A and B are shown apart, each in its own frame.
Chain A
Amino acid sequence: QKEVEQDPGPLSVPEGAIVSLNCTYSNSAFQYFMWYRQYSRKGPELLMYTYSSGNKEDGRFTAQVDKSSKYISLFIRDSQPSDSATYLCAMMGNNDMRFGAGTRLTVKP
C-alpha cells in the first residue's frame, strides 16, 4: 500500500461545477497537509495548507482534513477554465514528507 493514495483522474468538469479532490494516507504521524496546483511545464504552487484536522477556506477553495479517517479533501467551487491543472496533495510529519500522484483536472468552458 502506498503511503499516500490519490486518484490520478483525469477529471473533466464543466465550468461552474464543484470539484472534489481527495487523498488517503496511512502514516498517522502526518500533521501538516498541503494542496498544490501545478500547471503544465511549471513548478507547483502551494494552494492550501492545514495543520491537523479541520477545515480551511480561501476564496473558492476549501480544504478538509479528517485525521481519524486519514482522509483529506480539496473542494473547488464555481470552477473556472483557469483551474485546469494537476492538483497534488502532500503531507508532512515526523521528518517525512509525501506527495500524492496528482489529479489532472480539466474545466471545460
Chain B
Amino acid sequence: KAGVTQTPRYLIKTRGQQVTLSCSPISGHRSVSWYQQTPGQGLQFLFEYFSETQRNKGNFPGRFSGRQFSNSRSEMNVSTLELGDSALYLCASSLQGANTDTQYFGPGTRLTVL
C-alpha cells in the first residue's frame, strides 16, 4: 500500500511570501500530524488534524496554519515567511492519532527561505 506522500519535496521562497505544503496520508488513515525539523531546534510538533478537525497544536505562531479535507489530505500554510522558517517539514499519518503505535512519516518538504 502506498506510503505518506508530501508535495513538493523542495521549495525555495523569499521572506514575506507565503507557502502551502501538501500531505496525502496512507489510505484509511484519518489523522495527519505536521512537524518542523531544523538543526538548531530539532523536531517540533506543529499540529494534528483528525477527521477535518484540529485536535492538538504545538507552540508556533499563528502564521502557521493547516487544514484537513474530507479525503484526509492535509495542507499546511505558512504566511509572511521568515528566514527562520527554513526547515524540513514532515507530516505523519495514523489511524487514530499521533499518540498511537501506528504512525508513518512522509519524506518531508525541504523549505528554504531566502
Contacts and interface: CB of A to CB of B under 8 A. Distances in A.
A69 interface: no
Interface residues on A, range: 10 to 19
B58 A97 contact: yes
B42 A102 contact: yes
Consensus secondary structure, chain A interface: strand
Interface string A41-60: 01111100100000000000
Nearest to A93: B99
Contact of A49 (B42, B45, B58, B100): B100
Given A95-B56, A97-B58, A97-B98, A43 B43 contact: no
A46 B104 contact: yes
Given A44-B90, A95-B56, A97-B58, A102 B107 contact: no
Contacts of B98: 92, 97
Contacts of B104: 46
A72 interface: no
Consensus secondary structure, chain B interface: strand
B58 to A, nearest CB: 7
A105 to B, nearest CB: 16
B44 A99 contact: yes
A69 to B, nearest CB: 21
Given A44-B90, A95-B56, A97-B58, A102 B43 contact: yes
B103 A46 contact: yes
7 contacts: A32-B99, A43-B90, A43-B92, A44-B105, A46-B104, A49-B100, A95-B57
Interface of B: 4, 42-45, 55-58, 90, 92, 98-108
Given A95-B57, A99-B44, A102-B43, 18 more contacts: A32-B99, A43-B4, A43-B92, A43-B106, A43-B107, A43-B108, A45-B105, A46-B102, A46-B103, A46-B105, A92-B98, A95-B55, A95-B56, A96-B56, A96-B58, A97-B56, A97-B58, A98-B45
